[in-house]
Amino acid sequence: MTLLQAAKQNEDQAILQLIDLYKDDIMKISQYIYMPQEDAISTIVLEFMEVIRENNDTYETD
């Protein structure tokens, strides 16, 4: 099972690993959102988790 598949099955550890993997990108993007940085990071992470949990396998490769 891939990390993405595990995250889609709501495995907390897999979701945390994916967030950690993209942490630097999340921090960079948060600098361009006009709100307090902590709020921007929370918003980005929430959206990221929603995308992960979608049942859309369009972007998944074998």
Residue 42 covered by a domain: yes
Question: What is this structure's pTM?
Answer: 0.77
Query: Taking 60 as the threshold, does the pLDDT of residue 56 lie above it?
Result: no
Residue 61 covered by a domain: no
Q: What is the 3-state secondary structure (H, E, C) of 8-61?
A: HCCCHHHHHHHHHHCHHHHHHHHCCCCCCHHHHHHHHHHHHHHHHHCCCCCCCC
Residue 7 covered by a domain: yes
Domain interval for residue 33? 3-53
Averaged over 5-26, what is the pLDDT?
Answer: 93
Query: Taking 70 as the threshold, does the pLDDT of residue 62 lie above it?
Result: no
Q: Give the per-residue pLDDT at 60.
A: 53
pLDDT digits (tens, 9 = 90+) for 23-37: 999 999 999 999 999
Residue 62 covered by a domain: no
Residue 13 covered by a domain: yes
**How many domains does the chain fold into?**
1
Residue 26 covered by a domain: yes
